[in-house]
Amino acid sequence: MLAFILRRLFQSLLVMLAVALIAFAMFRFVGDPVNQLVSLDTPQEQVAQIRKSLGLDEPVVVQFARYIYNAVRLEFGVSYQFRLPVISLLGERAPATLELAFMSALFSLLVGIPMGVYTALRRDSWLAKLFQTVSLVGISLPTFLIGILLIYLFSVTLGWLPSFGRGEVVKIGNWWTTGLLTASGWKALILPSITLGLFQMTLIMRLVRAEMLEVLRTDYIKFARARGLKTRAIHFGHALKNTLVPVITIAGLQLGSIIAFAIITETVFQWPGMGLLFLKAVQQVDIPIMAAYLILISFLFVSINLIVDLLYAAVDPRLRATIGAH
Amino acid sequence: MSFKTHCLAAVAALALMCGTAQAQTLRYANQGELKSLDPYTVNETTTNAHIGHPYEGLTARGKDLKIEPALAEKWEVSDDGLKWRLFLRKGVKFHGGEDFTADDVIFSAERVRAQGSNFTTRIPTSAKFVKVDDHTVDVVLTAPNPILNAQWDTWYIMSKKWAEANNAVAPTPAAATTPSYAALNANGTGPYKIESHQPGVKTVFKLNENYWKKIEGNIKEIVFTPIASDATRVAALLSGEVDVIEPVPIQDIQRVNASGNAQVLTGPELRTIFLGMDQTRDELLESSVKGKNPFKDVRVRQAFFQAIDIETIKSRVMRGLSTPSALMIAPELFPHAGFTRAKFDTEASKKLLAEAGYPNGFEIGMDCPNDRYVNDGQICQAVVGMLARAGIKVNLNAQPKGQYFAKVLKSGGYKTSFYLLGWTPGTFDSHNVLHDIIGCRDVAGSSRGESNLGNYCNKKVDELTDKILVESDTAKRDAMIKEAYKISVDEFGYIPLHQQALAWGVSKKVKLAQRADNSVLLYYATKE
Amino acid sequence: MTAQTPSSTPVAPSTKPPSLWARILDSDILASFLRSKVTMVAAVIVLLMFIGAAFSPWIAPTNPFDPATVFLSDANIPPAWQAGGDPKFIFGTDDQGRDLYSAILYGLRVSLIVGGLGVALAATIGITLGLLAGYLGGRVDSLIMRIADVQLTFPAILIALLIDGVVRGIFKGANREDTALYVLVISIGLSFWVQYARTIRGSTLVERNKDYVQAARLVGLPAPLIMLRHVLPNVIGPVLVILTINLALAVITEATLSFLGVGLPPTQPSLGTLISIGNRYLFSGDWWIVAFPGLTLAILVLAVNLLGDWLRDALNPRLR
């Protein structure tokens, strides 16, 4: 088991290196950062000077090596747009994104799992059909449109909820700001969380339903029934428990989606998080921010994958044996 | 914080008081972010307007854009035009408490021209600033320059002492690789102080109680938030979460006006939107015509011009909020008398194309930004349709401005055959247009024509431009400007389209003066 | 037991479920189809939409992709039944004066091509890699799953930007109009495959230890054959559900990319492009520009998903 963990750690390191390479290679193509920094009438010598000062005239290999070296020291340079160290910008924005991601994940799980269970157990009830249809409508519209429709309804027409920003935030320590301690913070979280979580909710609901249906037909559930166990115990003690293994995997994988979709949600709601920062960075070709964001997200991801894999191994003894064998 | 606690602690009786205090806070949302507070980093209208709250220049421009005295009370120009004497305002203090003196002006004059400044064109390199006494400065020039102070309203004066104490003597370059104090803090003499600045998220301005002049507005505190998404910005205004937004997408103007709690201030903007054509390559980069460049033929350029139905663009794409233009400059900056646009006439276009040897038209690529100017993408799309009816098949390449500029600007090698661009002369003067946009770019080492992406070129125009720079007789100068414009108009060097409109969304509770250069200046704002 | 043909004579009949095709044939699939009214309606809708898309040049009254026939002066006309409407334009016109009905038909076609090709690419890559990873295990498995990790860090938006940039780097001066379609298909293919690979790998890990696979291996069947003929049919079930969701997702991703400025150009609008165009006019009262393409998209996705649901249940003999 230890060897397995070590091997996975080593692989993860390789992954991070690959991400860095891909990220770096990509940035060379996205656009020319210098053009963002100068106005139409900046003299040409000055443009060349800027290019030189950014090290953009050196060989690509040198640029990449320097990039890796700096990344290892968490040294992502200074944002071209803001002239602040990227790591502090990301640090400042991270709480907003993490809170949003957490709330929307919570929303999708708390709503998705019960809906999935219900639609599996009462497959033919009208409510189950309604759940399925409504959830499908939810994913049939693009995120940005859902967000704008929600704003239109709840902010403009009804005036209940704010259309942008985090509301009033409270600082906790040096690094964290939270909107969870003020009423306006909670209100501001509602629309973005729903917008972001709707899609995941549907996916989780469908997954839970499908898995439940599978499990309910297996022999040991039939056996449990035959033994005369209570339906409730069968459904929740056995069926749901067995359903949760793939749900763990998917929930882990969904984190990627949540963060990817947060880019759009944050854009629509002007949510001051990392996604908004990243999208702006892409538009403005702010290479240091893009680089740091990608590496950070990749790191988060690789860690989660590692944990999911370990959980998998812990949950399913057969898999553990297999993994151990190789 | 304490203020808030008080409000929370107080019950109904005090709520009224808190309410009044609230009313003098103005919340403002703009499409763009305020990135650096260093006044010499980015030369861009919106940023200049933001920074014009904590900072100010020797001169200012009023609501009508006329030059007014500011930190310089008055100035005198010697008879030979080679010396300007500036008389500085006395008793002015920076926010940090430092006195404003001649040293600060001389320091700022050096800093604004130093390596890394984006405002080097504000003062000629050869101009010398000489201290006469604490409140008098001489500017010594090598050649007369009647428009010397034309852009001084956005050359903001910084405190020498403060800059030296905070290691901010050198301007923060646009590509700073280290954090800079001046980018995150401001110490000007302007009507508002920076209370807090979170780049890209929120900036709070507090009224400078010791400002040397009584400001027109009554705003005590400005909370600025960038909101990039059009719909969200409009929603924030409609729901009353913000008081002022810029810009309002023109299709939403009616909706905002109908809402009852906000209205849209509109007016012509000074920016001219135009189409340019590559007239320098021997074969176009993106065209079906091989071995020659159709745009070198004036008939083809005229055909393109006449194929465009500017009135329909105005009524449909711009919803009436544009001024079709015959010249490459706004009528507010140079009178258009004597110039009219060539008539929209698809048949005439076809005929011209046939005469030029393209009876069946040809194919051409077009570059266009889709997030830079008002409805730029839609304008280009409309142009594609109009040219199609004249027989020209246009392959439109509409992209976000980052990618667009990377392709078409000098640094990208002017890789375009046909493009849409907008231009506001920074000096509000024709010389800038004739020099940067209409001037030939073939002289190495010269910045002339640097933004003339298609390199329309006529040496006669260049000669006139050089004379215009040093001519101080207004009538003579205007005549020469007119002559230069006439040459380029007759040759269809460019296809000017229109001046777009300003559209600011303003809450009904707020009164605000609108300046035609699209600077949102909240010291003009009053809120009930 | 005597000599066996290498194919499907059951080696361990007790544990090996019948193959996919066998199930389809003996599952009374038609009967199940006819039993579900919802499914029938969904099927009819999907069929109609596919026909509409495939034959749009003949069905649509105008060609919205031909700028010479689109008149800006017709812009923003409301649907025919509203005041100010024009019977020429049933669903009204968009901001360029295009007939929305025609634009939707053409856009549907573009969207289905992009979505279909993208998802097909994703499924092909994902299933192949998932099977290899799950069946072969070891280094191959590690390698593939690590690639999947890397892949997952790149949201489709990023991949689109990346590929867009690379394409333009390679074909200098290439126009978005020519490249956007390929960029989108490849972006979707490359960003969606992981889900297939993970799912297939997971099930394959379980299947490969089952007796029938072990037996097949013992008889000496070549690995590719075992994977394709024995493992694949038993692990493909969940893929159908992913496929349906993904087709919808692909169309939506395309719309989002248009919203961010990397999608199909507005001169050749897909449903997504139409929605993001209409999105701009949501507050101004020109609701039809976003409503009709949005509705078309929603109905398409809904119908495809309902079909997928039914298919899933119908293919699973244990559910009946």
Structure-model confidence comparison of residues B368 and A12, the more confident one: B368
Cis-peptide into B173, omega within 30 deg: no
Long-range pairs, B109-116, Cβ under 8 A, ≥24: B111/B40, B111/B158, B111/B163, B111/B169, B111/B170, B111/B171, B112/B40, B112/B155, B112/B171, B114/B170, B114/B171, B115/A49, B115/B170, B115/B171, B115/B173, B116/B40, B116/B170, B116/B171, B116/B172, B116/B173, B116/B174, B116/B176
Taking alpha carbons only, the member of B40, B35, B49, B92 closest to residue B69 is: B92
Distance CA B185, CA B165 (A): 13
**Residue C6: per-residue pLDDT:** 40
β-strand pairing of B262-277 with B418-423: antiparallel
Contact call for C152 and A305, based on CB within 8 A: yes
Q: Rg of chain A's alpha carbons, rounded to an integer?
A: 24
CB of C96 closer than 8 Å to CB of C72: yes
Other beta carbons within 10 angstroms of residue B508's beta carbon come to: 13
- C8 pLDDT higher than 60: no
β-strand pairing of B526-527 with B393-399: unpaired
E strands present in B238-312: 244-246, 262-277
Residue A90, amino acid: L
- A315 pLDDT higher than 70: no
Mapped onto helix, strand or coil, the DSSP state of residue A13 is helix
Contacts of A292 (CB under 8 A, 6+ apart): A71, A76, A86, A87, A90
Taking alpha carbons only, the member of B379, B362, B380, B447 closest to residue B410 is: B447
Distance CA B170, CA A194 (A): 48
Taking alpha carbons only, the member of B123, B118, C156, C158 closest to residue A36 is: B118
Structure-model confidence comparison of residues A54 and C94, the more confident one: C94
DSSP readout, C112-159?
HHHHHHHHHHHHHHHHHHHHHHHHH-HHHHHHHHHHHHHHHTS-HHHH
Distance CA C106, CA A222 (A): 51
Taking alpha carbons only, the member of C84, C95, C89 closest to residue C60 is: C89
The region, left, alpha or beta by phi > 0 then psi within -120 to 50, assigned to residue C42 is alpha
Determine what percent of chain B is predicted with pLDDT higher than 90: 60
Instruction: Give the position of tokens 């291996």.
Output: C217
DSSP readout, A37-98?
HS-TT--HHHHHHHHHHTTTTS-HHHHHHHHHHHHHTT---B-TTT-SBHHHHHHHHHHHHH
CA of A247: which chain C residue's CA is closest? C199
Structure-model confidence comparison of residues C318 and B32, the more confident one: B32
Mapped onto helix, strand or coil, the DSSP state of residue B86 is strand
**Residue C22: per-residue pLDDT:** 59
Mapped onto helix, strand or coil, the DSSP state of residue C95 is coil
**Residue A72: per-residue pLDDT:** 81
Min distance A273 CA to chain B CA atoms (Å): 9
Contact call for C149 and A301, based on CB within 8 A: yes
DSSP readout, C245-304?
HHHHHHHHHHHHHHHTT-SS-TTS--HHHHHHHHHTTTTTT-THHHHHHHHHHHHHHHHH
Distance CA B457, CA B414 (A): 15
CB of B234 closer than 8 Å to CB of B487: no
Confidence of residue A28 (pLDDT cuts 50, 70, 90): low
Instruction: Choose the most confident range, by mean pLDDT, from B55-59, C193-197, C218-222.
Output: B55-59
- B229 pLDDT higher than 70: yes
- B341 pLDDT higher than 70: yes
Sign of dihedral through CA atoms B157, B162, B163, B168? negative
Question: What is the per-residue pLDDT across B131-162, written as a single tens digit (0 to 9) for each?
Answer: 999 999 999 998 888 888 888 999 999 999 99
**Least trusted range by pLDDT, from A183-197, B276-290, C218-232:** C218-232
**Residue A41: per-residue pLDDT:** 54
C309 interaction partners in chain A (CB closer than 8 Å):
132
Contacts of B117 (CB under 8 A, 6+ apart): B40, B41, B111, B171, B173
- Indicate the residue of B235, B371, B385 with minimum beta-carbon distance to C96: B385
> What's the whole-number average pLDDT of chain A?
77
**Residue C162: per-residue pLDDT:** 62
A22 interaction partners in chain C (CB closer than 8 Å):
150, 154
Structure-model confidence comparison of residues B486 and A311, the more confident one: B486
Q: At what angle do helices A287-315 and A2-30 cross, to 10 degrees?
A: 150
Give A177-200 as a 3 state SS string: EECCCCHHHHHHHHHHHHHHHHHH
Contacts of B339 (CB under 8 A, 6+ apart): B326, B327, B485, B486, B489
Distance CA B146, CA B429 (A): 11
- Indicate the residue of B35, B235, B412 with minimum beta-carbon distance to A163: B235
Q: How far apart are the first and last CA of chain C?
A: 34
- B456 pLDDT higher than 90: yes
Beta-bridged to residue B395, according to DSSP, are B365
Distance CA C20, CA B108 (A): 79
Looking at residues A31-38, what average pLDDT do you find? Answer: 56
C-alpha A317 chain-centroid distance = 29
- A310 pLDDT higher than 80: no
Sign of dihedral through CA atoms B178, B181, B186, B187? negative
C-alpha B244 chain-centroid distance = 19
Confidence of residue B286 (pLDDT cuts 50, 70, 90): confident
Q: Helix H segments across B356-458?
A: 376-389, 401-408, 430-436
- Indicate the residue of A38, A165, A285 with minimum beta-carbon distance to B174: A38
**Residue C286: per-residue pLDDT:** 84
β-strand pairing of B393-399 with B322-324: unpaired
Question: What is the per-residue pLDDT across B399-415, written as a single tens digit (0 to 9) for each?
Answer: 777 678 777 877 678 88
Question: What is the per-residue pLDDT across B50-109, written as a single tens digit (0 to 9) for each?
Answer: 999 999 999 999 988 889 999 999 999 998 889 999 999 999 999 999 999 999 999 999
- C317 pLDDT higher than 60: no
Mapped onto helix, strand or coil, the DSSP state of residue B25 is strand
Both tokens of A189, joined, read 């979280």
DSSP letter at C314?
H
C-alpha A19 chain-centroid distance = 17
Distance CA C261, CA B300 (A): 32
A140 interaction partners in chain C (CB closer than 8 Å):
248, 252, 297-302
- C247 pLDDT higher than 50: yes
Structure-model confidence comparison of residues A283 and B420, the more confident one: B420
Distance CA B434, CA B463 (A): 10
Mapped onto helix, strand or coil, the DSSP state of residue B206 is strand
Mapped onto helix, strand or coil, the DSSP state of residue A325 is helix
Q: Rg of chain B's alpha carbons, rounded to an integer?
A: 25
C134 interaction partners in chain A (CB closer than 8 Å):
none
Long-range pairs, B74-78, Cβ under 8 A, ≥24: B75/B149
Taking alpha carbons only, the member of B342, B381, B385 closest to residue B494 is: B342
Confidence of residue C51 (pLDDT cuts 50, 70, 90): very high
Contact call for C248 and A144, based on CB within 8 A: no
Contact call for C284 and B251, based on CB within 8 A: yes
CB of B476 closer than 8 Å to CB of B288: no
Distance CA B301, CA B364 (A): 13
Looking at residues C240-268, what average pLDDT do you find? Answer: 77
A46 interaction partners in chain B (CB closer than 8 Å):
120
Looking at residues B112-123, what average pLDDT do you find? Answer: 82
Determine what percent of chain C is predicted with pLDDT higher than 90: 9
**Residue B302: per-residue pLDDT:** 96
Mapped onto helix, strand or coil, the DSSP state of residue B80 is coil
Contact map slice: C 273-302 vs B, CB within 8 A: 279-286
Contact call for C281 and B389, based on CB within 8 A: no
C-alpha B520 chain-centroid distance = 12
Q: Which helix (H) or strand (E) holds B225?
A: strand B221-226
Min distance B281 CA to chain C CA atoms (Å): 15
C76 interaction partners in chain B (CB closer than 8 Å):
316
Looking at residues B495-508, what average pLDDT do you find? Answer: 93
**Least trusted range by pLDDT, from A278-292, B175-189, C13-27, C116-130:** C13-27
CB of A200 closer than 8 Å to CB of A104: yes
DSSP readout, B39-58?
TTS---HHHHHHHTTT--BS
Distances in whole angstroms, Cα of residue A19 to Cα of each of A291, A298, A301, C125, C146: 10, 7, 11, 20, 11
Looking at residues A124-153, what average pLDDT do you find? Answer: 80
Neighbours of A, requiring at least 3 CB pairs below 8 Å, are B, C
Looking at residues C250-279, what average pLDDT do you find? Answer: 79
Structure-model confidence comparison of residues A181 and A309, the more confident one: A181
The pTM assigned to this predicted structure is: 0.78
Looking at residues B28-43, what average pLDDT do you find? Answer: 85
**Residue C1: per-residue pLDDT:** 36
Looking at residues B178-205, what average pLDDT do you find? Answer: 88
Distance CA A25, CA C163 (A): 11
Vertex B301 angle, CA B296 and B306, to 5°: 170
Structure-model confidence comparison of residues C307 and B466, the more confident one: B466
